[in-house]
């Protein structure tokens, strides 16, 4: 019985580690999905290409220096089906971004929420789906 | 509930239509499909049939998963849809998939590596049957002697011969193998062999190998729904044959959008 429970627990833990989104073509194990990045800054570049769009944002550090963050977004295909166009975000736009940080790169993250400078939501994603929902066996 | 969700989605599309006009054909009405008086697709209408009376599976399809709101903020504006089977194809089986010891070892190694060896993560082709559960759309083009399945991911295709030919003997293994189909009443039964030895069936790495034989049984209960019974007989990977059934929803008033994964893949560099 204990062994059975352990197996289920291991399965659930495994699925949580592999929790995908509808827009991920990868396992996302390169990101710390429990961590949080919350920054505000100015977009310096937009890559509107598959399999994931990327935006680059200049953020002022605590020391006042500019740090350029890279944020992974869903694919352009997914974003287009949500009503985005390739012009929805442009260099120079001010944005607030929350997301989950990469485990091994200090200024890389996967975005799950983007707001414009006034706080209006531009994109809502999700970084995970509950692995327990998948009834791991 | 599910029907309500789809109706809501359709109405949403109709509402957004004018705002998105000009955005390619993302909201362009599909001609020749059954519709309700309000213009929404009639998903409960009878399945269309070909001139020779067979069910016609032609059209776009996506995993039939209810819309769920995973957002955590009050002004959340998006819902996510995904086939949960993309994580674990055997999730609905009481005891899960019957892995052989070899399979268990494979999956243990895949787990230890955080799934970074998943062919999908490296932009490899969308192999069937996994492709049915991926978050990209499929389009079936059905003719009397061949069914073609197009897939958005890497703009891929799969041929299913309906002309009575036998499966090949000792074929060169490929990502989708070699498929033939025959009719059993209103069900199209697709048999596949010649699958590569290193394919993944889901994100957690359930294997299918060259020794595997895949049978997919397609039915279309109504216009809006297709069911696919996926049966796998692979003695290398599984201790006994097993089958699961997934549902696909008809997707209309939109178009296929190509998603070429290698165009700008950067995630592999983040695995370090």
Q: What are the structural domain ranges in chain B?
A: 45-270
Is residue B137 pLDDT above 70, yes or no? yes
Q: Which residue of B has its CA nearest to A106?
A: B270
- Chain B segment 105-124 residues within 8 A of A by beta carbon are 111, 114-116, 118, 120-121, 123
According to DSSP, the residues that pair with B219 across neighbouring strands are: B227
**Span B205-227, average pLDDT:** 97
Of A8-12, A30-34, B60-64, where does mean pLDDT reach its minimum? A8-12
pLDDT in tens, A68-117: 999 999 889 988 887 889 999 999 999 999 999 999 999 999 998 898 88
pLDDT computed for residue A30 by the predictor: 83
At B121 the pLDDT is 87
For chain A, list the domains and their CATH numbers: 2-128 (2.40.50.140)
pTM of the predicted protein model: 0.84
B69/A33: higher pLDDT: A33
Q: Which residue of B has its CA nearest to A135?
A: B91
Q: What is the mean pLDDT of residues B222-247?
A: 98
pLDDT of residue A53 exceeding 50, the answer is yes
B169: CB partners within 8 A, 6+ apart: none
Q: What is the pLDDT of residue B67?
A: 58
Q: Do A102 and B270 touch (CB under 8 A)?
A: yes
The residues pairing with B150 across neighbouring beta strands, listed in sequence order, are B139, B157
Question: pLDDT category, B180, cuts 50, 70, 90?
Answer: very high
Q: How many residues are given for chain A?
A: 137
Q: Is A72 exposed, middle or buried (0-12, 13-18, 19+ CB in 10 A)?
A: buried
Q: How many CB atoms lie within 10 A of CB B183?
A: 13
Residue B272 banded pLDDT, cuts 50, 70, 90: low
Chain B, window 143-172: residues with a beta carbon less than 8 angstroms from a chain A beta carbon: 152-153
Tell me, what's the pLDDT at A36? 92
Query: Is B193 an 8 Å CB contact of chain A?
Result: no
Collect contacts of B5-14 with beta carbons under 8 A, ≥24 apart.
B5/B66, B5/B67, B6/B43, B6/B224, B6/B249, B7/B40, B7/B43, B8/B67, B9/B67, B10/B40, B10/B41, B10/B253, B11/B38, B11/B40, B13/B253, B13/B254, B14/B39, B14/B40
Whether A58 has a pLDDT exceeding 80, the answer reads yes
**In what helix (H) or strand (E) does residue A110 lie, and over which residues does it extend?**
strand A108-116
CB-CB: which of B71, B84, B135 is closest to A133? B84
The conformation of residue A34, written as its DSSP 8-state character, comes to: T
Res. A137: pLDDT tops 70: no
Cβ-based burial of B266 (10 A; exposed 0-12, middle 13-18, buried ≥19): middle
User: For residue B18, what pLDDT is reported?
Assistant: 41
Q: Residue B80 pLDDT > 80, yes or no?
A: no
Query: Given a cut of 90, is residue B28 above it in pLDDT?
Result: yes
State the pLDDT confidence band at B185, using cuts at 50, 70 and 90: very high
Structural contact between residues A51 and B259, judged by C-beta atoms closer than 8 angstroms: yes
Cβ burial B24-40 (10 Å sphere, 16+ → b, else e): eebbebbeebebeeeeb
Q: Please compute the mean of the pLDDT values over residues B3-7 and round it to a whole number.
A: 43
Q: If you count them, how many residues does chain B have?
A: 272
Chain A residues within an 8 Å CB radius of B91:
134-137
**Does the interface predicted TM-score (ipTM) exceed 0.90?**
no
Q: Identify which has the larger pLDDT, B63 or B115.
A: B63
pLDDT(B10) > 90 = no
* Residue of A76, A82, A131 lying closest to B78 (CB–CB): A82
**Across chain B, what does the average pLDDT equal?**
88
Strand partners, A66: A60
Neighbours of A12 (CB within 10 A): 17
**Looking at CA atoms only, how far is residue B227 from chain A in angstroms?**
19
Determine which helix (DSSP H) or strand (DSSP E) holds A11, and give its type and residue range. Answer: helix A2-17
Measured between CB atoms, which of A29, A50, A135 is closest to B261?
A50
CB atoms A27 and B70 under 8 Å:
no
């Amino acid at each position: 019985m204990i062994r059975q429970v352990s197996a289920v627990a291991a399965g659930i833990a495994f699925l949580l580690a592999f929790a995908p989104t509808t827009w991920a073509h990868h396992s996302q194990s390169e990101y710390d999905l429990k961590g949080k990045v919350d920054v505000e800054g100015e977009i310096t570049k937009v890559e509107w290409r598959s399999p994931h769009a990327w935006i680059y944002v200049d953020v002022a550090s605590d020391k006042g220096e500019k740090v350029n963050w890279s944020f992974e977004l869903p694919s352009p295909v997914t974003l287009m089906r949500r009503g985005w166009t390739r012009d929805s975000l442009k260099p120079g736009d001010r944005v607030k971004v929350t997301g989950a940080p990469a485990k091994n790169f200090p200024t890389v993250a996967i975005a799950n929420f983007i707001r414009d400078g006034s706080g209006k939501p531009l994109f809502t994603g999700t970084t995970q789906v509950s692995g327990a929902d998948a009834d791991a066996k | 509930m599910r029907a309500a969700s789809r109706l809501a989605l359709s109405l949403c599309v109709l509402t957004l239509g004018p705002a998105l006009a000009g955005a390619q054909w993302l909201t362009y009405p599909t001609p020749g499909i059954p519709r309700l008086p309000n213009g929404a697709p009639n998903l409960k209408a009878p399945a269309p049939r070909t001139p020779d009376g067979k069910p016609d599976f032609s059209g776009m399809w996506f995993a039939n998963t209810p819309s769920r709101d995973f957002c955590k903020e009050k002004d959340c504006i998006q819902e996510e849809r995904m086939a949960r089977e993309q994580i674990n194809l055997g999730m609905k089986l009481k005891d899960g998939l019957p892995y052989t010891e070899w399979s268990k070892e494979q999956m243990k190694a895949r787990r230890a590596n955080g799934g970074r060896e998943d062919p999908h993560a490296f932009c490899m082709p969308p192999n069937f049957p996994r492709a049915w559960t991926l978050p990209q759309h499929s389009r079936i083009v059905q003719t009397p002697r061949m069914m073609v399945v197009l897939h958005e991911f890497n703009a891929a295709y799969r041929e299913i011969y309906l002309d009575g030919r036998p499966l090949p003997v000792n074929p060169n293994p490929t990502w989708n193998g070699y498929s033939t189909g025959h009719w059993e009443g209103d069900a199209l039964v697709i048999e596949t062999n010649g699958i590569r030895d290193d394919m993944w069936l889901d994100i957690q790495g359930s294997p299918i190998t060259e020794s595997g034989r895949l049978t997919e049984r397609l039915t279309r209960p109504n216009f809006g729904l297709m069911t696919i019974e996926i049966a796998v007989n692979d003695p290398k990977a599984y201790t006994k044959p097993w089958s699961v059934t997934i549902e696909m929803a008809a997707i209309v008033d939109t178009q296929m959008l190509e998603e070429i994964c290698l165009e700008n893949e950067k995630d592999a560099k983040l695995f370090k």
